Amino acid sequence: MSRILKIAIPVHVRKIFDYLPPPDCDVEKLQPGMRVQVSFARREAIGILVEVVSSSAVPLHKIKSATKIIDNESLFSNDIWQLAVWAAEYYHFPLGEVLFAALPTLLRQGKFPKEEKIKEDVVVALFSPHVLNEEQKNAFHEIQSAMNQFKIFLLAGVTGSGKTEVYLQAIAEFLKNKKQVLVLVPEIGLTPQTIQRFQERFSEKIIALHSGLTEKQRLNAWALAKSGEAKIVIGTRSAIFTPFPDLGLIVIDEEHDLSFKQQEGFRYHARDLAIKRAQQNQIPIVLGSATPSLETLNNVKQNRYHELNLSVRAGAASLPVFQILDIRNLILEEGLSQPLLTEMKMHLEAGNQVMLFLNRRGFAPVLMCHACGWIAMCKRCDARMTYHHRVNQLRCHHCESIKKIPQKCEACNYSELHPIGLGTEKLEMILEKYFPEYSIARLDRDTVKKKGKIEELLDGIQSGKHQILIGTQMLAKGHHFPNVTLVAIIDADGGFFSADFRALERMGQLLLQVAGRAGRVEKPGKVLLQTRQPEHPLLHELLNKNYSFFANTLLKEREQAILPPFIHFVLLRAEAHQNDHVMNFLEQIKNAISKISSGIKILGPIPSPMQKRAGFFRGQLLLQSKQRAVLQNFLRNAVPQIELLSEKKRVRWSLDVDPVEMF
């Protein structure tokens, strides 16, 4: 009887490839999850063994033999294997690419883990746990009591309510029971701070998994978790695929954050995969946030998730006071009103820190000709180029194109070009003029590119070296700055005018997360919001009531409009160098799948909101259904038909199941 190896290869083809075993291979010892070297498309490639079968649809004489079996055992634990297979089916993505996404890069290249010591910061002494208030105690006991059973908790607590302390004390109980713990955070910037807090509490080995590590460090960390030596793993989105022999608890901090959704290639949502993994392992999972996503809140209402509420700040801290600053009739100095400057001066002179939030990096978002109104546009995208003053460049924040500042207008040859609008770089220069005696720290993607720079800036803020903090949303996420007593939001109006139906939700989350950096210990905090929409009812709900009230209003609106989470979306995107190819392909798809679309609504094709990006024209089809199962079943039938279309060769196309970005 013939034995056929079914091998997944990391190519963008929804197919498993057949090979014969290599010579002298003991087929009985083969396991799914072993790496196999094969000849593929005139090159040597590494694939993953999926199964061994006794027959093939391909004639036996046409099947090549695999070159060699690389591993003696599977690289995948049972739960990671099941998770990867489930994810490939749910997101309709090639299994080979999903399996390789679950492995460190060096393993994908055929390398082996090597025993290397991870440098660990030595703490002088371990800190004692804080005394929990009644709400924290209740949350702690609920999580502890769910050990060894699948239960989804939403730990919904106002900013500064001590969610991390609940995590820490719950984790201590799981460690006592010889369990391992996975903690996911949305941004690499949060990882050093989180690791430090954990190291101050636990003597067990704690490792980090994020993009800031070298490939050797990532592989070593993966091996330490797989062996059981590492008891706590703290990582960003991809750490969801870390293997554990004794996983007992998963924590997703800032569960609402968009960073948990992969936006290119294999478009998985780490929070959703974490819930699936917890279910497979029959363990509890804790989703923590001061501003939970509407999807999560709706699951609480449907009794799928169990809510644990922390309504007050921990210790002596109180929630900050909000003040709406109507700037419609005020004279602004580069976006700053006089009342804001006066308030800043008062807080700084009292020895406190001040934080200014502006979600726009660079010097100015527009470079304009004073004579004809010409605007510097990206030639590869439907987007303006952002002016960066210190490096004297125009940059596209969508495709990363860079060009020198032109000396003259490209339309009329006039020499007077002006930067219009405000970015964090310009804000920093203005504040240097107003407050020359104070040190300024700016946190955005431009200032933290160098390795170790974000840790250096955060250390400087914590130590009091910097008194004025400026940043984008990178500064808003989960950081604990005990000396910040004033937070100013320079422009609170962005979410009111977006075409994205999620914009108001994100605006509310961002405003409260930024505001939550103020008054986190015994010093009272104040939040100033500069706005031209001071009477907006949702803004008042957010500030004068609470996030829950605000979110419930949005949920009612979503339900009336039949939008997620009350309907399920799949976005089918296509891109090509010629727009006709994109739209013809999408039209071809619509014609092909309309015959099998019972229970499915197909909207489009339409150009994407940003039609041209990085030199490609883009378009999309939106598929929607009130029942997730109906949509999934439809995709299982539709995807093979799409693969057969003649226009497919002219475009790049992708499926985004449960998209969080509509462009």
Q: Could you tell me where the beta strands, DSSP code E, fall in 174-317? A: 180-184, 206-209, 232-235, 247-253, 284-289, 306-310
Distances (CA, A) of 319 to 16, 124, 130, 527: 56, 33, 20, 10
For residue 120, pLDDT over 70 is answered with no
Indicate if the pLDDT at residue 475 is higher than 90: no
**Centroid of chain to Cα 363:** 26
Range name among 251-260, 274-283, 526-535, 558-567 with the lowest pLDDT average: 526-535
| Angstrom distances, CA of residue 542 to CA of 258, 340, 459, 485, 531 | 20, 21, 32, 20, 14
Q: Which single residue is written with the structure tokens 């977006």? A: 498
Is the Cβ–Cβ distance between 522 and 324 less than 8 Å? no
Q: Tens digit of pLDDT for each residue in 568-588? A: 999 999 999 999 999 999 999
Would you call 459 helix, strand, or coil by DSSP? helix
Q: Domains (ranges, CATH) in the chain?
A: 4-79+93-108 (3.40.1440.60), 134-310 (3.40.50.300), 321-364+421-545 (3.40.50.300), 568-657 (3.30.70.600)
The reported pLDDT for the residue numbered 30 is 95
Going by C-alpha positions, the residue among 324, 417, 434 that lies closest to residue 371 is 417
Query: Residue 582 and residue 587: Cα distance in Å, rounded?
Result: 9
More confident residue, 122 or 359: 359
Q: pLDDT, tens digit, for every residue of 145-191?
A: 999 999 999 999 988 888 999 999 999 999 999 999 999 999 877 77
Query: What is residue 511's predicted lDDT score, i.e. its pLDDT?
Result: 86
Percent of the chain with pLDDT over 90: 70
Question: For 137-143, what is the mean pLDDT?
Answer: 97
Asked whether the CA dihedral 423, 429, 432, 433 is positive or negative, the reply is negative
Query: For residues 495 and 468, is the Cβ–Cβ distance under 8 A?
Result: no
First to last CA, the chain: 52
pLDDT for position 293? 97
Q: What is the pLDDT of residues 365-390, one digit of tens each?
A: 999 999 999 999 999 999 999 999 98
Q: What is the mean pLDDT of residues 191-208?
A: 88
Q: How much is the average pLDDT of 18-46?
A: 93
What long-range pairs does 319-322 form, CB within 8 A, spacing at least 24? 319/158, 319/159, 319/160, 319/519, 319/525, 320/487, 320/515, 320/516, 320/518, 320/519, 320/524, 320/525, 320/526, 320/527, 321/524, 321/525, 321/526, 321/527, 322/515, 322/526, 322/527, 322/529, 322/543, 322/544
**Do 404 and 393 touch, CB atoms closer than 8 A?**
yes
Other CB atoms within 10 Å distance of the CB of residue 60:
11
Compute the average pLDDT of residues 614-637: 95
What is the pLDDT, as a whole number, of residue 556?
Answer: 96
pLDDT of amino acid 119 = 58
Which band of pLDDT confidence, cut at 50, 70 and 90, is reported for residue 314? confident
Mean pLDDT for the chain? Answer: 91
Residues in the chain: 663
Q: What is the pLDDT of residue 29?
A: 93
- Does residue 565 have a cis bond before it (omega within 30 degrees)? yes
**Starting from the edge strand earliest in sequence, which strands make up the sheet with 568-576, in order?**
601-613, 616-625, 568-576, 652-657
Residue 476 has pLDDT above 80, yes or no: no
The pLDDT value given to residue 192: 75
Instruction: Please report the pLDDT score of residue 540 as a whole number.
Output: 86
- Among all chains, which residue has been given the structure tokens 């690289």? 75
